[in-house]
């Protein structure tokens, strides 16, 4: 089996005892099904309601410095096995909880293993106990943090910069008071409990982060960003991935589909990273070794004759066999880690490639999102100078809408699609109408109605500068529709056969 997720958290809160946590774990085990009596080797079986049989092995130990209990629950799945290893220890006034999740195929069966791992309920139940649980220097918060207003934006900036923070921070920003999908922050907090902090920020708090940290660290207008602990790439903001709402919804997916897809990605990536980033607690092995040494020492002190010493010798032999077994287990684990390391290298190589299909997961943005529509236009003007021409009336159009209408990143994406249209037209025929081609790119576009085209008054409203003179524009994109007039964005364009470029005549409100 290979490790798929690891949790290690602890508390020194006096309201939480080892016995309290043990009760939670035992209740979780009991909820699984009917528990059998122990076999000769101590293994117990749990009969599930669907007919499956799970195996449970329990170990307990104590020494002068503390005590511990571990559970290893191995469950059959549709196409393999799933193991949950739980450890609870108490030492020096601290309670430590360790949970390791492992998955694998059936013995000697070469076939794909499909699993979508979620945070175990036992982890959520333990973290729900009163008391402050910590992962390293970071408090585990079992609910989404809420940042509203400028002062809370300062607090969010401080949390992003906190050098002692040991967990990722996922910030979900609002756009016009809404996030990507209702309940997303609560779902993320539940999915990633013990592995990440989750926060929701309103517009003012998000903008304060930009003012405090700089636009490279921004996250606003419905975007979602993962801020890794500052010890990881502290000077490189682009190592902390950002997804705009436009990027997450690209391809015409619903907000619910986009939310589920993003949650799945976070679970998969953070759980995989936890296997390497979170170290096992040494407390369990220390207490186990101390217990053994104390038992041997007690027997040595009580030894009186030859038979007593022979018993001690036999004990050493048994311990030696255990150590040899442990060495074999560690060697096997090293082999698995080598395989996992190679798999991660291949996954990293795959992840750095551009997606090749609409079903591919949206990749993070490669630069900071634009704060205003004017900035989106200017960046597109510079980036696509060989493919797009912006007429003189574009600047006048920008004055008819709110600076953050669109939102700006969506306007930038639509302009990028127009640049792709120009590149495609240069290659030859599109194989379909221009509007159908744009629809296939996931943008909303249309031509003016017959009524508008037959009205000289309406056509005058749609006559703008094309870089050389005045021209009537018919086709337009609709980044934002069905909203207030100063947030309703239209991008009017025309393919110019002579210059072999797309002319953008208007970026602004509805004429």
- Least Cα distance to 395 among 315, 248, 472, 505 occurs for 505
* The CA-based dihedral angle spanning residues 481, 484, 486, 491, taken in that order and rounded to the nearest 10 degrees: 10
Query: Helix or strand or coil: residue 264?
Result: helix
Number of helices (H), then strands (E), belonging to the chain: the values are 15, 21
pLDDT at residue 354, rounded to an integer: 45
- Least Cα distance to 56 among 79, 32, 78, 27 occurs for 32
Q: Give the distance from CA 4 to its chain's centroid.
A: 15
Q: Are 509 and 373 in contact (CB under 8 A)?
A: no
CATH number for region 2-132: 3.30.530
Query: Helix or strand or coil: residue 432?
Result: coil
Q: Are 203 and 218 in contact (CB under 8 A)?
A: no
Read off the tokens for 15.
């309201």
d(CA 258, CA 359) in angstroms, rounded, equals 11
Helix (H) or strand (E) holding 358: none
Q: Please report the DSSP string for 16-44 in residue order.
A: --HHHHHHHHHHHHHHHSEEPPP-TTS-E
- Least Cα distance to 355 among 238, 259, 222, 261 occurs for 261
Query: Helix or strand or coil: residue 478?
Result: strand
pLDDT at residue 345, rounded to an integer: 55
Q: Are 508 and 397 in contact (CB under 8 A)?
A: yes
pLDDT at residue 355, rounded to an integer: 44
Q: Are 10 and 137 in contact (CB under 8 A)?
A: no
Read off the tokens for 252.
């015409």
Read off the tokens for 3.
């490790």
Helix (H) or strand (E) holding 474: none
Listed in sequence order, the residues at least 6 apart from 81 whose beta carbon sits closer than 8 Å to its beta carbon are: 1, 74, 75, 103, 104, 105, 106
Query: Helix or strand or coil: residue 490?
Result: strand
- Least Cα distance to 477 among 383, 414, 429 occurs for 414
d(CA 446, CA 423) in angstroms, rounded, equals 20
Domain regions of the chain by residue span: 2-132, 138-250, 303-361, 373-508
Q: Are 441 and 420 in contact (CB under 8 A)?
A: yes
Tell me which residue has tokens 């529709």: 481
Read off the tokens for 280.
């096992």
- Least Cα distance to 504 among 479, 486, 483 occurs for 479
Q: Which neighbouring-strand residues pair with 227?
A: 169
- Residues of the chain with pLDDT below 50 are 350-359
CATH number for region 138-250: 3.40.30
Sheet holding 388-390, edge to edge: 388-390, 501-508, 489-496, 475-480, 445-447
pLDDT at residue 347, rounded to an integer: 54
Q: What is the pLDDT of residues 317-375, one digit of tens each?
A: 777 777 777 777 777 777 666 666 656 555 555 444 444 444 456 778 777 889 999 99
Read off the tokens for 19.
């016995």
pTM: 0.78
Q: Are 413 and 484 in contact (CB under 8 A)?
A: no
Tell me which residue has tokens 């750095």: 352
Long-range interactions of 339-347: CB distance < 8 A, separation 24+: 339/2, 340/2, 340/3, 340/275, 344/272
pLDDT at residue 274, rounded to an integer: 94
SS (H, E, C) 131-178: CCCEECCEECCCCCEEECHHHHHHHHHHHHHCCCCCCCEEEEECECCE
d(CA 419, CA 415) in angstroms, rounded, equals 6
Q: What is the pLDDT of residues 184-219, one digit of tens each?
A: 999 999 999 999 999 999 999 999 999 999 989 999
Half-sphere exposure of 451 (CA within 13 A, CB side): 0
* The CA-based dihedral angle spanning residues 227, 229, 235, 236, taken in that order and rounded to the nearest 10 degrees: -40
Residue 220, φ and ψ in degrees, nearest 5 = -150, 180
pLDDT at residue 339, rounded to an integer: 62
Half-sphere exposure of 327 (CA within 13 A, CB side): 6
């Amino acid at each position: 089996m290979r490790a798929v997720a690891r949790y290690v958290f602890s508390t020194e809160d006096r309201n939480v005892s080892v016995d309290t946590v043990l009760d939670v774990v035992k209740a979780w085990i009991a909820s699984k099904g009917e528990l059998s009596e122990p076999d000769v080797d101590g293994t117990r079986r749990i009969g599930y309601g669907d007919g499956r049989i799970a195996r449970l092995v329990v170990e307990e130990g104590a020494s002068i410095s503390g005590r511990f209990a571990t559970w290893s629950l191995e469950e059959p799945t549709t196409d393999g096995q799933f193991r949950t290893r739980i450890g609870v220890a108490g030492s020096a006034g601290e309670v430590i909880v360790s949970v390791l999740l492992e998955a694998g195929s059936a013995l000697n069966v070469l076939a794909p293993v499909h699993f979508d791992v979620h945070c175990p309920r036992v982890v959520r139940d333990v973290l729900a106990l009163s008391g402050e649980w910590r992962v390293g220097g970071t408090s585990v918060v079992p609910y989404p943090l809420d940042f509203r207003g400028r002062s809370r934006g300062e607090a969010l900036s401080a949390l992003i910069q906190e050098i002692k923070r040991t967990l990722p921070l996922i910030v979900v920003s609002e756009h016009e008071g809404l996030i990507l999908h209702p309940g997303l922050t609560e779902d993320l907090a539940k999915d990633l409990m013990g592995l990440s902090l989750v926060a929701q920020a309103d517009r003012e708090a998000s903008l304060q982060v930009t003012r405090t940290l700089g636009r490279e660290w921004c996250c606003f207008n419905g975007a979602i960003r993962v801020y890794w602990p500052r010890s990881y790439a502290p000077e490189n903001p682009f190592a902390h991935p950002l997804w705009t709402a436009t990027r997450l919804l690209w391809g015409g997916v619903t907000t619910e589909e986009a939310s589920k897809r993003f949650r799945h990605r976070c679970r998969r990536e953070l759980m995989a990273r936890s296997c390497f980033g979170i170290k096992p607690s040494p407390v369990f092995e220390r207490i186990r070794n101390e217990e053994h040494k104390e038992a041997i020492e007690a027997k040595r002190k009580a030894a009186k004759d030859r038979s007593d010493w022979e018993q001690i010798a036999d004990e050493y032999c048994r311990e030696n066999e255990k150590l040899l077994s442990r060495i074999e287990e560690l060697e096997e684990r090293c082999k698995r880690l080598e395989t996992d390391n190679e798999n991660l290298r291949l996954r990293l190589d795959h992840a750095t490639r551009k997606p090749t299909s609409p079903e591919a997961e949206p990749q993070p943005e490669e630069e900071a999102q634009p704060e205003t529509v004017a900035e989106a236009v200017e960046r597109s003007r510079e980036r696509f100078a060989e493919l797009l021409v912006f007429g003189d009336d574009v600047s006048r159009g920008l004055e008819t809408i709110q600076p953050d209408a669109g939102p700006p990143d969506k306007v930038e994406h639509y302009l990028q699609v127009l640049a792709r249209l120009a590149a495609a037209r240069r290659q030859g025929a599109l194989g379909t109408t221009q509007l159908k081609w744009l629809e296939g790119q996931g943008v909303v576009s249309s031509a003016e109605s017959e009524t508008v085209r037959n009205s000289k008054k309406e056509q005058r409203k749609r006559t703008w500068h094309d870089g050389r003179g005045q021209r009537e524009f018919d086709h337009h994109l609709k980044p934002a529709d069905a909203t207030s007039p100063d947030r309703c964005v239209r991008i009017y364009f025309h393919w110019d056969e002579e210059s072999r470029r797309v002319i953008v005549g208007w970026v602004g409100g509805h004429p």
